[in-house]
């Protein structure tokens, strides 16, 4: 535990908080983009220790939460077909679809399997040539390289029975969409360290300059977040709008160029609908033409889907930071981790799950 202890040192945390209180002269609003960062902030109570009036706005960086309902409904229909093995990361199995979720479908006999890496799905396809193996490929820029490698490997093996249901999303277009909303309160961003470990931060520089918002690439431990917040506040107080890197132990400006090359080979940028947020141009990835034979949406034509969100769930407002989970009338009563109505209560990166795990009950509207 040596390294984790170092990034959770309470003495250093108090020192950073003191410095933050001495630096902040205004009630700044800062968005942490990533759901993993939200969980650390809420679990450690960091958001409640900030200087008076200063507020963290929890962002849309939960991949499970923003995966369109239509994709999930399509996965359910495909998984129910004879001869199909549908594979997915575990988080997706309990996300409510319009009629059911993948876990319930598995209980009724469908072959739905949890895998820990997309390459596991390729191995399954290789081991079961008589079955169609589909991998549910969701996530941000972090998961795209491994998914790209799986497609490249399946192509090398000449596997005819492996496909992916792709629903990748990209962070910078979501940040831009948030900033273009006239109701947006965000004055600075903590960018997700793991996304930037892959992509670097060059694509954030024009956003910081154009919208005059500081962006600090930040890690996930308590001291990372406190330092990232302090760096963002220091910029705001000085009237600077730059991209800075708090997560220097993992991130370089250019990112991981080998991973980027694999993603560019296999995927191309496309428009994407984000669950709870809406349609964002050029905000996702789909398989490039050369690899379209691995596209499950093409191989398994699924028509007649009518996705319908739960009427009570305010996940869209939670994902854009307009509302807190505790503003939702179903929070903690009709919607719990055992019986979720929406994706943010399911995922290990969901804001509603973070609030529930921390026992948050206070109701405070942010609008
Ligand atoms: S508490 Fe449940 S119903 Fe309310 S916004 Fe969160 S996921 Fe949706």
Q: How far is the CA of 183 from the centre of ligand 1 (A)?
A: 21
pLDDT at residue 365, rounded to an integer = 43
- pLDDT tens digits for 179-220? 999 999 999 999 999 999 999 999 999 999 999 999 999 999
Contact between 312 and 330 under an 8 Å Cβ cutoff? The reply is: yes
Strands 278-287 and 162-169: antiparallel
Which is higher by pLDDT, 30 or 316? 30
- Rounded mean pLDDT, 236-243: 98
Residues 163 and 178 in one domain: no
Confidence of residue 362 (pLDDT cuts 50, 70, 90): low
- Residue 29 maps to which CATH number? 3.40.50.11750
pTM for this predicted structure: 0.93
Residues 339 and 194 in one domain: no
Residues 103 and 222 in one domain: no
Q: What range defines the domain where residue 161 resides? A: 67-169+261-295
Residues 80 and 196 in one domain: no
Cβ of 162 closer than 6 Å to ligand 1, yes or no, is: no
- Rounded mean pLDDT, 289-304: 94
Cβ of 313 closer than 6 Å to ligand 1, yes or no, is: yes
Residues 119 and 207 in one domain: no
Cβ of 335 closer than 6 Å to ligand 1, yes or no, is: yes
Task: For the chain, give the percent of residues with pLDDT over 90.
Answer: 89
Pocket test for ligand 1, best of 318, 334, 346, 353 (most atoms within 8 A of CB): 318
- The answer to whether residue 224 is domain-embedded is yes
Residues 92 and 115 in one domain: yes
Cβ of 352 closer than 6 Å to ligand 1, yes or no, is: yes
Token pair 């993992």 is at which residue?
250
Is it the case that residue 1 has pLDDT exceeding 60?
Answer: no
Cα-based distances in Å from 340 to 4, 99, 315, 328: 31, 13, 12, 13
Residues 190 and 204 in one domain: yes
- Residue 128 maps to which CATH number? 3.40.50.11740
**How many structural domains comprise the chain?**
3
- The answer to whether residue 364 is domain-embedded is no
- pLDDT tens digits for 12-54? 999 999 999 999 999 999 999 999 999 999 999 999 999 999 9
Nearest alpha carbon, ligand 1 atom 6: 352
- Dihedral angle, C-alpha 309, 313, 316, 321, nearest 10 °: -170
- The answer to whether residue 310 is domain-embedded is no
Q: How far is the CA of 343 from the centre of ligand 1 (A)?
A: 8
Atom of ligand 1 nearest to the CA of 335: 2
Cβ of 353 closer than 6 Å to ligand 1, yes or no, is: no
- pLDDT tens digits for 119-147? 999 999 999 999 999 999 999 999 999 99
- Rounded mean pLDDT, 232-240: 98
pLDDT at residue 367, rounded to an integer = 37
Is the four-CA dihedral 265, 269, 273, 278 of positive or negative sign?
A: positive
Cβ of 164 closer than 6 Å to ligand 1, yes or no, is: no
């Amino acid at each position: 535990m040596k390294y984790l202890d170092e990034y959770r040192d309470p003495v250093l945390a108090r020192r950073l908080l003191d410095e933050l209180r001495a630096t902040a002269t205004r009630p700044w609003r800062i968005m942490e983009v990533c759901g993993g960062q939200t969980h650390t902030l809420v679990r450690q109570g960091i958001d409640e220790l900030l200087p008076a009036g200063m507020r963290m706005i929890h962002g849309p960086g939960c991949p499970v939460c923003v995966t369109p309902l239509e994709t999930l409904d399509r996965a359910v229909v495909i998984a129910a077909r004879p001869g199909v093995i549908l594979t997915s990361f575990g988080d997706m199995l309990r996300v409510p679809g319009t009629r059911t979720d993948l876990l319930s479908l598995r209980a009724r006999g469908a072959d739905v399997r949890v895998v820990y890496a997309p390459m596991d799905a390729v191995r399954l396809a290789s081991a079961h040539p008589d079955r169609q193996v589909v991998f549910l490929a969701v996530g941000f820029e972090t998961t795209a390289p491994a998914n790209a490698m799986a497609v490249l490997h399946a192509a090398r093996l000449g596997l005819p029975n492996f496909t992916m249901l792709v629903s990748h999303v990209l962070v910078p277009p979501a940040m831009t969409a948030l900033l273009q909303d006239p109701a947006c309160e965000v004055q600075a961003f903590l960018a997700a360290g793991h996304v930037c470990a892959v992509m670097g931060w060059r694509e954030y520089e024009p956003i910081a300059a154009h919208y005059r918002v500081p962006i600090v690439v930040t890690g996930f431990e308590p001291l990372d977040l406190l330092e990232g917040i302090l760096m963002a506040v220091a910029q705001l107080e000085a009237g600077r709008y730059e991209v800075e890197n708090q997560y220097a132990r993992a991130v370089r400006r250019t990112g991981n160029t080998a991973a980027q090359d694999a993603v560019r080979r296999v995927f191309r940028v496309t428009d994407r609908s984000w669950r709870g947020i809406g349609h964002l141009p050029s905000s996702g990835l789909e398989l490039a033409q050369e690899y379209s034979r691995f596209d499950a949406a093409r191989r398994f034509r699924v028509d007649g889907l009518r996705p319908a969100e739960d009427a009570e769930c305010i996940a869209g407002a939670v994902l854009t930071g307009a509302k807190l989970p505790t503003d939702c009338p179903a929070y903690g009563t009709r919607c719990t981790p055992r019986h979720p109505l929406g994706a943010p209560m399911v995922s290990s990166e969901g804001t509603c799950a973070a609030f529930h795990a921390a026992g948050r009950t206070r109701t405070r509207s942010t609008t």
